A and B are shown apart, each in its own frame.
Chain A
Amino acid sequence: SYVVTQPPSVSVAPGQTARITCGGNNIGSKNIHWYQQKPGQAPVLVMFYDSDRPSGIPERFSGSKSGNTATLTISRVEAGDEADYYCQLWDRSSDHYVFGTGTKVTVL
């Protein structure tokens, strides 16, 4: 089955930039979506189709992709951005959906 890897954790100081990566075979050909999940809450879609922001998501959140790595970037990080972040894609060959392993973002 398709495997999507993320770093387990990222630490960032307030006001700085956090970058969360998502890697997988041939990921450049797949649409990547990103979710934010705060403790005790349901996930929230924060980025879709690599770099599109749903309404209500701050412009500080941006997405990009290069080669076999997709990246969610959070600029001017705030304490409220502390959460787990998951990337996700659709695997065309199996017609199944795959989540990344998740990254815990800690605001120092």
Chain B
Amino acid sequence: EVQLEESGGALVQSGGSLRLSCAASGFTFRNAWMSWVRQAPGKGLEWVGRLKSIGEGGTADHAAPVKGRFTISRDDSKNTLYLQMSSLTTEDTAVYYCTTMYSSAFDSWGQGTLVTVSS
């Protein structure tokens, strides 16, 4: 059974930084493409970024609102996905979900971790 457990969410001041983690189990993590998706309070889903498996290049791509401020990375030895966030603004306040990817779909989701950015 695929399990994804996010952690690291917190209350942070505007301009600050935070790193989220996603511990994965139940599948071959090193072969998986992974993504982060976020959801602001009362709003819809927003894709944040994707990281390919190392075997397929290991490249990351990020959505325009976070490009240059957020970085997705992975440690396959620890079966863990990360999201390094910097220059945070109140617009980044959201629940952040870690997901596995099946082709272009997000097929398994964690329960999410809440990031609150105060002004």
What's the Cα separation between A96 and B36 when bound, in Å? Answer: 12
Select one of B35, B50, B110 contacting A42, CB under 8 A. B110
Cβ-defined partner of A35 (8 Å) among B45, B64, B110, B112: B45
Q: In the complex, what residue of chain A is closest to B44 when comparing beta carbons?
A: A102
For B, the interface residue count at a CB cutoff of 8 angstroms equals: 22
Q: How many residues of A contact B (CB 8 A)?
A: 26
Surface stretch bound by B, among A19-27, A43-51, A71-79: A43-51
- Tell me whether B10 is interfacial, beta carbon within 8 Å: no
B44 in contact with A86 (CB, 8 Å): yes
Contact of B104 among A1, A33, A44, A86 (CB under 8 A): A33
Contact present for B45 and A96 (CB under 8 Å)? no
Cα distance A41–B112 when bound, in Å? 9
